[in-house]
Amino acid sequence: MYPDQELRQLASQKAALQREIGLRRLAFADAAGRVSQPLEWLDRVMEFARRFSPYAQLAAVPLGFLVKRTLFPRFKILGSVVRWGPLVLGVVRGVSSLLKGTPEPSVDPDDED
């Protein structure tokens, strides 16, 4: 069917094509490894954050005060808001609930006394 020389030529082309495919696969795997490296780092950071999440919640308030003290040493209003804010909020909520809870007197237009 095919002459012997054509079969050898096709076999060498096939081998060259297979080598080229293998080289391209290696290059692709290398490029994919370089591209995915930041994602691997992100996974490690996320795992680290998940591991220490309960401790981070406990440390958030003291760290917030430390940052406030170092960045805003003369900014006293923030401390006043933190100190008196919950009290003011409770008073506002209490007054609001009192005003909503008291029914207004209804005036009946048919009632003529």
Using one digit for the tens of pLDDT, what is the confidence trace for 32-68?
999 999 888 988 988 888 887 777 767 777 777 777 7
Q: Give 87 or 16, the one with higher predicted confidence.
A: 16
In contact, 91 and 81? CB cutoff 8 Å: no
The verdict on residue 23 lying in a domain is yes
pLDDT band for position 95 (50/70/90)? confident
The verdict on residue 38 lying in a domain is yes
Whether 70 has a pLDDT exceeding 80, the answer reads no
The verdict on residue 70 lying in a domain is yes
Overall domain count for the chain: 1
The verdict on residue 109 lying in a domain is no
The verdict on residue 15 lying in a domain is yes
The verdict on residue 113 lying in a domain is no
> pLDDT digits over 98-110, tens only?
877 755 556 666 6
The verdict on residue 112 lying in a domain is no
Q: What is the pLDDT of residue 83?
A: 75
Q: What is the pLDDT of residue 99?
A: 79
Q: What is the pLDDT of residue 106?
A: 60
The verdict on residue 63 lying in a domain is yes
Contacts of 68 (CB under 8 A, 6+ apart): 75, 78, 79
Please, what is the average pLDDT of the chain?
A: 81
The distance from CA 37 to its chain's CA centroid, rounded to whole angstroms, is 19
In percent, the amount of the chain with pLDDT more than 90 equals 25
Determine the structural domain holding residue 19 and report its residue range.
Answer: 4-74
In contact, 49 and 56? CB cutoff 8 Å: yes
